Structure 1
Amino acid sequence: MSTVKRNAAAAVPIEGGRFMVIGGASLVGAATTAELLARGAAEVRLLDNFSFGSGEAIAHLRDDDRVKVVEADILKLHQLLQTMTGLDGVVHLAAFMTLSMDRDPWAGIDVNVRGVQNVLESCRVNAIRKLVFASSNAVYGYGPGVRGDLVEQTPFHSQGAPPAAILYGASKIMGEQLCRDAHRKNGQDYVILRYSTVYGERQHYRAANALYIVETHDAVQRGARPQVIGDGLETKHFVYVGDLARANCMALASDATDVAVNTSGPDPVTTLELVTMISEISGRPDLTPELVEPDPTKVRLTAGGAFRIDHAEAKNAIGWAPEVRMREGLRRLLAWRDAARAG
């Protein structure tokens, strides 16, 4: 899937278009909707079943009369068929992530596999011109095999990873293959974006790696030393939510189809570097990180060594590259959290 296929008919202009963001009441959903509106979309429908929280993430969007909030469930095909009429493109974000997969793997597999199948079937019936599917760098797995540059051809590694992480990565692989199958059988145009760990304004507590950010900020706010699991040298690769919102829109508007590309931030960081940056931005560089042993009762995502998620293919396919560096993105996120608490 590394060779970019082009099809002029696959390009869906944002201005004047009608779109649906599935899993819209989310961190990425809110940012993507705002980006679609800024680019002149005529209508954006936000579909969510609100099982992972309230509508607070999209409260700031409700006053725009181009935004329509649709409460529905992707596991109920008839609801999708009814609500996806008259659209030009769809961004599919709804999924169980690793922590929620750990709590309820059966439901997670249902949502992450059968849910994708239902979305694709509704795209077929409603003649949706293009689908953008949010996959993950979890398709490369975890453990000793995950090292060096991770590119679109890197295979899946599972040695030593917790079951929930393997199930999540495998479910994203299956979702990608369902998109390929729909293109092969029905001509459904699509672009798969393999997100690295997302962070940014409206950050929640549901992402295993992003917990490092919010829990560190919480600790610093209390005046406590932030904790780093292990020796602090473990690599993480984050991407700012605003950059992903741009990627979603650029994937829709591009003539690329039948392709999967990485969408990662500019550079990876170690957990020690990450926690240190958060303390510095929070004005407490004196709170030096405390190294602690892993808690065996908690799901923890680890890689075998230093790695970098290469995003060069995204530039080739949809013209995208990340713009926001980690320190600046953290500054924006922490400023938003401080303002939300004060408000």
Structure 2
Amino acid sequence: MPTHTPNNRLAIRGHRFLIIGAASLVGSHTADLLLAEGAKELVLLDNFAFGAMQAIAHLQDHPKVRILKADIMQLHELLDATQQIDGVLHLAAYMTLGFDQSPWAALDVNIRGAQNVVEACRRNGVKKLVFASSNAVYGYGNGIKGELTETTPFHSEGAPPAAILYGASKIIGEQLCRQVHQKHGLNYVVVRYSTVYGERQHYRAANALYIMSTYDQVRAGKAPTLPGDGSETKHFVYVGDVARANIAAFQSDASDVAVNVSGVDTVTTREIVQHVLDYCDSKLVPISPPEEPGKVRLTSGGAFSIPHALAGQEIQWQPSVSMQEGVKRLLQWRQAQDH
């Protein structure tokens, strides 16, 4: 059962925060918001294997920011990084594409790396850990239907191995947080993101990549592609809303709880393509080519929804940016990169 006491709250103003996996989409936006909310000091940790300095370059000379190259596989580096830190946001992880390409390395980072983060927080008395999880903890496959609430069990039948490995790794990470809370009292909140998209978008996530690749196709004058008939439902959440959820998790009096962080509403792949076509003022017609066997494809589709009501109750958060507005913001940013 989640716990609620004023002692679980961590105000942003006047406190020190560490973002692990900071040179990323979510990391950079959360860093901006922590500074805007009055954080005393902000340590941005990344090994830059996937993250790009470009994402946090605008913070390099900020007087309250320290950028630290370190690796979550090295416990001693995390122990140094978490000294005198009040709040930790743990984002560093391999995603589904990574599990398809490098499953052993991905398991190491997502499980042993998470274990190192939790241990460093415990040893150095961090006041609150926010652990970035995923709706992948509900599994994949055609058997998932209805509302995926925070108590929905894991489903794996018929899903690609990489997707199952990723979801299972996030379940283990969540339980590592839960165990150290029960044994040592570390306050934590798990935030289960839907697919995150927005400005500073990378090309590593299978679902968010679909928006970018569709835009690239349309800009090149090629017809965008649809998986199936385009009716499959997808679950996205705008990065600005995710950053607010991370802040809300620190500030809430909740601990020992996991909450969905999902978008304003669901969207079909055909609607995503249409948002891109509308932005580009294009009359191209989408096509549906045959799927390539074994290829990792969009993974979060299905006849289900991901409600975020519990996040409203536990951390007083709800999303505000629609998919149409979010795609517009993303593509405006993407277009600006070409100039």
Please report the TM-score for the alignment, with normalisation by the length of structure 1.
0.97
Measured against aligned partners, the alpha-carbon deviations of 1:120-156 in whole angstroms (never above 9, x if no partner) come to: 1100111000000000000011112212111001111
Distance 1:60 1:278 in 2: 28
Deviates more, 1:122-131 or 1:56-65: 56-65
Q: Match for 1:213 among 211, 214, 226?
A: 211
Q: Tell me the CA shift for residue 33 of structure 1.
A: 0.2
Distance 2:230 2:87 in 1: 42
Measured against aligned partners, the alpha-carbon deviations of 1:198-218 in whole angstroms (never above 9, x if no partner) come to: 000011110011111000000
Aligned equivalent of 1:32: 30
Aligned equivalent of 2:164: 166
SS of the residue corresponding to residue 227 of structure 1 reads coil
SS of the residue corresponding to residue 56 of structure 2 reads helix
Matched, 1:305 2:302: yes
Distance 1:161 1:88 in 2: 39
Aligned equivalent of 2:185: 187
Distance 1:225 1:67 in 2: 44
**Once the two structures are aligned, what percentage of the paired residues are identical?**
59
Q: Match for 2:246 among 234, 245, 248?
A: 248
Q: Tell me the CA shift for residue 63 of structure 1.
A: 2.4
Residues 303 and 253 (structure 1 numbering): CA distance in 2 closer, same or farther, change over 3 Å? closer
Distance 1:72 1:252 in 2: 23
SS of the residue corresponding to residue 296 of structure 2 reads coil
Residues 15 and 229 (structure 1 numbering): CA distance in 2 closer, same or farther, change over 3 Å? same
Distance 2:176 2:65 in 1: 29
Deviates more, 1:333-342 or 1:61-70: 61-70
Q: Is the CA contact 1:147–1:304 (under 8 Å) kept in the aligned structure 2?
A: no
Residues 320 and 53 (structure 1 numbering): CA distance in 2 closer, same or farther, change over 3 Å? closer
Aligned equivalent of 1:339: 336
Measured against aligned partners, the alpha-carbon deviations of 1:147-201 in whole angstroms (never above 9, x if no partner) come to: 2111001111111111110000000000000011000000000000000000000
Distance 2:306 2:156 in 1: 17
Q: Is the CA contact 2:163–2:299 (under 8 Å) kept in the aligned structure 1?
A: no
Q: Is the CA contact 1:146–1:303 (under 8 Å) kept in the aligned structure 2?
A: no
Q: Tell me the CA shift for residue 280 of structure 1.
A: 0.5
SS of the residue corresponding to residue 169 of structure 1 reads helix
Aligned equivalent of 1:12: 10
Aligned equivalent of 1:95: 93
Aligned equivalent of 1:148: 146
Aligned equivalent of 2:46: 48
Distance 1:192 1:298 in 2: 30
Q: Is the CA contact 1:146–1:304 (under 8 Å) kept in the aligned structure 2?
A: no
Aligned equivalent of 1:327: 324
RMSD: 1.1
Q: Is the CA contact 2:234–2:302 (under 8 Å) kept in the aligned structure 1?
A: no
Aligned equivalent of 1:65: 63
Matched, 1:119 2:117: yes
Please report the TM-score for the alignment, with normalisation by the length of structure 2.
0.98
Q: Is the CA contact 2:235–2:300 (under 8 Å) kept in the aligned structure 1?
A: no
Distance 2:281 2:172 in 1: 44
Deviates more, 1:295-304 or 1:310-319: 295-304
Aligned equivalent of 1:315: 312
Aligned equivalent of 2:289: 292
SS of the residue corresponding to residue 156 of structure 2 reads coil
Q: Is the CA contact 2:233–2:302 (under 8 Å) kept in the aligned structure 1?
A: yes
SS of the residue corresponding to residue 291 of structure 1 reads coil
What amino acid maps onto 2:250 in structure 1?
L
Measured against aligned partners, the alpha-carbon deviations of 1:39-78 in whole angstroms (never above 9, x if no partner) come to: 0111110110000143111111212111110100001000
Q: Is the CA contact 1:268–1:307 (under 8 Å) kept in the aligned structure 2?
A: no
Q: Is the CA contact 2:47–2:71 (under 8 Å) kept in the aligned structure 1?
A: yes
SS of the residue corresponding to residue 228 of structure 1 reads coil
Distance 1:37 1:303 in 2: 32
SS of the residue corresponding to residue 159 of structure 2 reads coil
Deviates more, 1:300-309 or 1:268-277: 300-309
Distance 1:305 1:299 in 2: 16
Matched, 1:136 2:111: no
Structure 1, unaligned runs of 5 or more:
none
Q: Is the CA contact 1:161–1:301 (under 8 Å) kept in the aligned structure 2?
A: no
Aligned equivalent of 1:265: 263
Q: Is the CA contact 1:101–1:164 (under 8 Å) kept in the aligned structure 2?
A: yes
